[in-house]
Amino acid sequence: MNYEKSQPSSIDNPVVDPNFNAMRSKDADSSTATYIVIGLLIAATIIPLATWWYFSK
């Protein structure tokens, strides 16, 4: 039988890139995803309310 090779574990294969944490913090500084999520939440609240208000007149 041929079994799929499992993903390498970080225990067996530790991250040795010296810039790993610097790269992570650089990605965390960009908050574009936060603005997108907040915008979608606001839109998901406003659109049904506006639709209800429009059709309930």
Q: Write out pLDDT tens, residues 20-31.
A: 666 666 666 678
In a domain, 46, yes or no: yes
Q: What's the predicted TM-score (pTM) here?
A: 0.49
More confident residue, 56 or 25: 56
pLDDT attached to residue 1: 62
Give the Cα separation of 47 and 35 in Å (integer).
Answer: 18
- Structural domain contains residue 53: yes
| Domain count across the chain | 1
In a domain, 13, yes or no: no
Q: What pLDDT is recorded for position 33?
A: 83
Residue 11, SS3? coil
41 three-state secondary structure:
helix
pLDDT tens for 32-51 read 888 999 999 999 999 999 99
| In-domain check, residue 10 | no
15's tokens: 């991250």
In a domain, 40, yes or no: yes
The CA–CA distances, whole Å, from 39 to 4, 20, 34, 52 equal: 41, 30, 9, 20
pLDDT at 2: 66
Closest CA to 47 of 33, 55, 35, 57: 55
